[in-house]
Structure 1
């Protein structure tokens, strides 16, 4: 259903203790070191919180003694003011810590999302062909959040919980050293008790992530393919699949909650034993040894206040597990080499007449399955060269190699005699304009989608490109004209309108090489006629390479090449190829005989309808 970066069973095996430590170390060396000032500020606020919390526990001795043992009015006032002051310090520190940590965390998320997106832009087309969009999207979002949450959890656990616990236990120890035994004996028991929960939490989180990716994948596919779903009555099938994945996510989430929650009862029990022991011990000292009740209440308060930070520390590793795995998935994406950044230092391909040539090119999308086999081909400047032939012959692959979406295994693809692999991809693509059957329009306005053809284009240039593409009139027919939103993938427009906007975008780019990949294949006759007019105008004075299955669209081409089995079977003008009675002739006869049959059947139906009427 989906393809991930690394199978989850391998990921499960790889995420051991050393891997978790490696992820945390990388987080601190990268994001932590870059934002050390913010974390230092937050840590200082946490220190004040720990100090004020311990101070209030300490003051409980004086509060009880000044009220019940040796009552003094000024003593009560001093203790009360001390508690108020410490509470104010704690409140201000809590606010400062929360705001500082949030700002640093949000910056880490933003930086990582930018880093991942930049990394994705540097990948080639094969990278995206091998992975599901939902998997990439979840790693981008969840991974960035996990990097922040892992750092925040470690910092707060040390700065807030550990400092508070140490401070409060210190108060208890100073008041009565014997009570240190409680902390020494019971706290390690709580930590050891949670170790078994950590492995289980890792396994559950991976299952939850895998199910989440599947759910996101099928949901995205259903939304994008809703026309097919409804046309084939697949609602119940897709509902069943989605419900299955939703149930998987729910079960995994419930298991994770139960696992994480098991640490709380453990601490509740141990905490109860600790407090019960303190009450017995301190009560004995007050009643029989003669110690003041203030010490008893101070120690009891310290232990009660230490309960929450101790509980959070006991489940620290359980909570950290999910964040570390999420960050690992982020790093797994970032560590994959970016195929299209290795040529940034290469020179730019100079603009010329636009002569395209293939010399003995061999290429395949998968090892051992060549698509082009010693392919030789030339497209001359200012001419239209058409590629025709059966599906799978390698026609679209030719365009993919010209655009440098892929690189040939051997042979040379050149523009004006320059091997395109020796120049940076951006400069190669700057010399080409692509119009394909599957036009992709971005969410936004008509103006924005045309303007993507050339950055910084003026309003007049955008309108001129639309007029050249015969798109201006229908655009102005919209209520908002060029400010009309096209919808997701251009869903608010017809197929012919989308194609003409794509052609306007190509006009605006004004590249010397024009690549047309089945640009009119999905259009009706009326829309095709409008698009063909725009294409003929766009093809003037350019090197044009056309891929077409409908041969009537290429009969006027300067050169027609029949591509079969990764090679050119024959080439020439339409009349020359028809005279040879070879592969092109056969394609033409089969295609037009079929069309004549359809036309004849239409005429018969029309005549029958006329007679019936």
Structure 2
């Protein structure tokens, strides 16, 4: 039974955390633990020295030893001070390394997940798990190490001094101590539930802040300030209440221990004056040594009595952390994945059926081919499945049935790195990192020279406005490009795609944020970029795709029409209807105005 319980503990979160942490940071913890042992020994030694200190001051026969005793006291406290410094420093280093290591593990784990994972999990929850979970792991290790090493050994050493000096009086301590510990066990049932509720409230605070930052325009336009304030105040009040509840539970042990310590000291005083401490009357030094050890034992005993409460509180965060680490990757690379072989860049969806999270299919039995080194446009109603096709090609998702191929190679057998090198993407929701313009451009091609970056910006007609920024290409764009206009952000995104020089280019409303003049200039740049490149364009403005080699009309997860402009206009079908809705002049081959 003991072995089974031990294995269960080891397989649990606490066992995993301790095993991993001590394996990785064994050297730092070894030094810290040795220093803690020295702190415990010197603490007990200082209580033991009280006998000689008092006797040297009160007994004339001992006064000759005063200088030696004084030097001994100085040496003892110096050793304790050095040991305490080493303990704190190395424990902090090990704890900081644990936090950093756990956060690195979680972030790597997050990046291994597919897009579906981030759609199903709120960013505020992930942020709480990554930050608070790692801190909880560090706190748990600190509590266990300091509790079981420093406090436990210090308490044992002081008890030894007490028993050595006054064995009968020590019995009172042994009677009072367990009484305090029994009271603590009744507090543990409430701690975990309170901490879980507190984590949820903290996540709500982060969520409100994120929504405020991202949606400040909507908040201002629709006068939602009071509503957002109410949400924030409610979340803050819940965190405050949970914190107060935890503080109350953690604080109960202290007054209980203080009261029992007072009883013990009072009892020692009564027993010692009544001559019940033994057959021989203790010396003043022995009695002072005992009382000193008793008083010094109060702090480690108090910390040990509160340790279980702290452990339970930390285990909630540790559980959230490991719960995230243990989740199976939503998108996994095949164990025997190989690099995508060179080819012209033909893309095919072979009888593909796909629905998000196993729901009603967005695409059903789609069988289409995107010709290599040609431009194919996807048009049609919103929600028809156009963006889903992009997600499948970039392997953000795997089809429920069928397969997606590039040059006849099923993407499920291809390495992620080689697939992503083959593809460049520009979306309508342009994302920029909170760094300089240069770094945002270079992220698509880290080895690109400054000259190549500038050339790409010129091709996207972004060089002029970038040069006019306060620090040119070194200007920071702010969070998601907040210091730039929508059109400027989109031109940087297009320049980023140009710099990548990929063989497949996916454009999702890539010019939607541009004015007519900028769109015309960027279209010229894209025309040069798309030479000998497989291009797929999603467009709602038909003026941007009239020269495409092939136009596919996607509706309800199926391609219902395809052909070039003239062919589709002659069919008088869905594309002709869309064309007529957008243009006054709709004769095939006629000049078109947006």
Task: Give the TM-score category using the shorter length.
Answer: over 0.9
Corresponding residue SS for 2:356: coil
Aligned counterpart for 2:18 among listed residues 28, 53, 70: 28
In terms of mean alpha carbon deviation, does 43-52 or 91-100 score higher?
43-52
> Following TM superposition, by how much is the alpha carbon of 1:422 offset from its aligned partner in structure 2, in angstroms?
1.4
Q: Which residue does the alignment assign to 1:245? A: 235
Q: Which residue does the alignment assign to 1:143? A: 133
CA offsets per residue over residues 534-562 of structure 1, 9 Å max, x none?
32222222111000111111111111100
**Residues 333, 416 of structure 2: 8 Å contact kept:** no
Q: Which residue does the alignment assign to 1:111? A: 101
Q: Which residue does the alignment assign to 2:354? A: 363
Tell me: CA distance 1:440–1:249, structure 2 relative to 1, closer, same or farther (3 Å). same
Aligned counterpart for 2:340 among listed residues 328, 344, 349: 349
Q: Distance in 2 between matches of 1:174 and 1:431?
A: 78
Corresponding residue SS for 1:374: strand
Q: Which residue does the alignment assign to 1:265? A: 255
Q: Which residue does the alignment assign to 2:530? A: 539
**Residues 286, 292 of structure 1: 8 Å contact kept:** no
Q: Which runs of 5+ in 2 are unaligned?
A: 1-6, 587-594
Superposition misfits of 4+ residues, deviation over 4 angstroms: 17-21, 286-289
**Residues 496, 528 of structure 1: 8 Å contact kept:** no
Q: Distance in 1 between matches of 2:16 and 2:388?
A: 41
Question: In the alignment, does 2:296 pair up with 1:292?
Answer: no
> 1:189-338, aligned counterparts within 5 Å?
189-285=179-275, 290-338=281-329
CA offsets per residue over residues 326-352 of structure 1, 9 Å max, x none?
111111010012244533641000132
Q: Which residue does the alignment assign to 1:124? A: 114
Q: Which residue does the alignment assign to 2:516? A: 525
Aligned counterpart for 1:488 among listed residues 479, 483, 497: 479
Q: Distance in 2 between matches of 1:226 and 1:345?
A: 47
In terms of mean alpha carbon deviation, does 190-199 or 67-76 score higher?
67-76
> Following TM superposition, by how much is the alpha carbon of 1:130 offset from its aligned partner in structure 2, in angstroms?
0.4
Corresponding residue SS for 2:537: strand
**Residues 513, 542 of structure 1: 8 Å contact kept:** yes
Question: In the alignment, does 2:414 pair up with 1:438?
Answer: no
Q: What is the root-mean-square deviation of aligned Cα atoms in Å? A: 1.9
Q: Which residue does the alignment assign to 2:72? A: 82
Q: Distance in 2 between matches of 1:573 and 1:475?
A: 37
Q: Distance in 2 between matches of 1:188 and 1:407?
A: 60
Q: Which residue does the alignment assign to 1:399? A: 390
Q: Distance in 2 between matches of 1:304 and 1:337?
A: 52
**Residues 20, 324 of structure 1: 8 Å contact kept:** no
Q: Which residue does the alignment assign to 1:8? A: none
> Following TM superposition, by how much is the alpha carbon of 1:387 offset from its aligned partner in structure 2, in angstroms?
0.4
Tell me: CA distance 1:18–1:215, structure 2 relative to 1, closer, same or farther (3 Å). farther
> Following TM superposition, by how much is the alpha carbon of 1:61 offset from its aligned partner in structure 2, in angstroms?
1.3
> Following TM superposition, by how much is the alpha carbon of 1:259 offset from its aligned partner in structure 2, in angstroms?
1.3
Q: Which residue does the alignment assign to 1:598? A: none
CA offsets per residue over residues 174-210 of structure 1, 9 Å max, x none?
1121133123211111111111111222121111101
Corresponding residue SS for 1:351: coil
In terms of mean alpha carbon deviation, does 41-50 or 71-80 score higher?
71-80
> 1:19-98, aligned counterparts within 5 Å?
22-98=12-88
Tell me: CA distance 1:432–1:111, structure 2 relative to 1, closer, same or farther (3 Å). same
Question: In the alignment, does 2:562 pair up with 1:571?
Answer: yes
Corresponding residue SS for 1:433: strand
Aligned counterpart for 1:418 among listed residues 398, 409, 417: 409
CA offsets per residue over residues 555-597 of structure 1, 9 Å max, x none?
11111100011110111111211111101111111233599xx
Q: Which residue does the alignment assign to 1:609? A: none
**Residues 333, 412 of structure 2: 8 Å contact kept:** no
**Residues 344, 424 of structure 1: 8 Å contact kept:** no
In terms of mean alpha carbon deviation, does 349-358 or 561-570 score higher?
349-358
Q: TM-score, normalised by structure 1?
A: 0.91
Corresponding residue SS for 1:511: coil
CA offsets per residue over residues 422-444 of structure 1, 9 Å max, x none?
11122112111000001111011
Q: Which runs of 5+ in 1 are unaligned?
A: 1-16, 596-613
Tell me: CA distance 1:463–1:257, structure 2 relative to 1, closer, same or farther (3 Å). same
Q: Distance in 1 between matches of 2:52 and 2:192?
A: 47
Q: Distance in 2 between matches of 1:236 and 1:543?
A: 50
**Residues 114, 331 of structure 2: 8 Å contact kept:** yes
> Following TM superposition, by how much is the alpha carbon of 1:530 offset from its aligned partner in structure 2, in angstroms?
3.2
Aligned counterpart for 1:460 among listed residues 438, 451, 456: 451
Matched residue count: 579
Q: Distance in 1 between matches of 2:194 and 2:11?
A: 20
Q: Distance in 2 between matches of 1:146 and 1:419?
A: 43
Q: Distance in 1 between matches of 2:79 and 2:36?
A: 11
Corresponding residue SS for 1:158: helix
Q: Distance in 1 between matches of 2:187 and 2:525?
A: 66
CA offsets per residue over residues 271-290 of structure 1, 9 Å max, x none?
11111111212233399953
Q: Distance in 2 between matches of 1:32 and 1:211?
A: 32
Q: Distance in 2 between matches of 1:20 and 1:213?
A: 30
In terms of mean alpha carbon deviation, does 517-526 or 324-333 score higher?
517-526
Q: Distance in 1 between matches of 2:274 and 2:68?
A: 29
In terms of mean alpha carbon deviation, does 432-441 or 454-463 score higher?
454-463
Q: Distance in 1 between matches of 2:100 and 2:32?
A: 19
Q: Which residue does the alignment assign to 2:169? A: 179
Corresponding residue SS for 2:310: helix
